[in-house]
Amino acid sequence: MRTLCLLLILANALFFIWSQLIDAQVNALDRISPPSAAPPARIVLAREVVRENVEEDAPAQVSEVMPPTVEPLEQPPQTENAPVASCTSIGPFPDLPQAAEVQSTLRAKGHESRQRVEQGEWWVGYWVSVPNLDTRAAAQAAIEKLRNN
């Protein structure tokens, strides 16, 4: 490792000597500047567009461009007490009788409901958090105590 470090230091020193003494030095004023980019095209408004069929010698005529008129869409008449439609998903339910019971309760309250079936995992259990344990061994002991009880 020591040899590798000394070789890298020697390589850096040799490169520094080569770049200062042997490499051709170019004065900053003698350097050729990179070509500058062409300026972007000028943004032109639609009303400033010159008609192409106008002669070159004639003065440019600016035409007024108007967008086409569009009729607005008809809105349905709104009443003040019109119900606002919304969609809410309730569940999941572990079995079909529970889902049917909830659906009948919703219909009794005046809501339209629809059942749908989806594939998924049903996890039954508890998440337990035991904060403020000093060590990992104390945490493992608390887990074992919870499992045994």
The answer to whether 102 and 90 have CB atoms below 8 angstroms apart is yes
Is residue 44 classed exposed, middle or buried when 0-12, 13-18 and 19+ CB atoms within 10 A define those classes?
exposed
Q: Tens digit of pLDDT for each residue in 108-119?
A: 988 888 887 777
Band the pLDDT of 126: cuts 50, 70, 90: confident
Structural tokens at position 119? 């594939």
d(CA 149, CA 145): 6
pLDDT value of position 91: 78
The verdict on pTM exceeding 0.75 is: no
d(CA 48, CA 128): 71
Q: Of the candidates 42, 60, 43, 59, which has an alpha carbon nearest to the alpha carbon of residue 51? A: 60
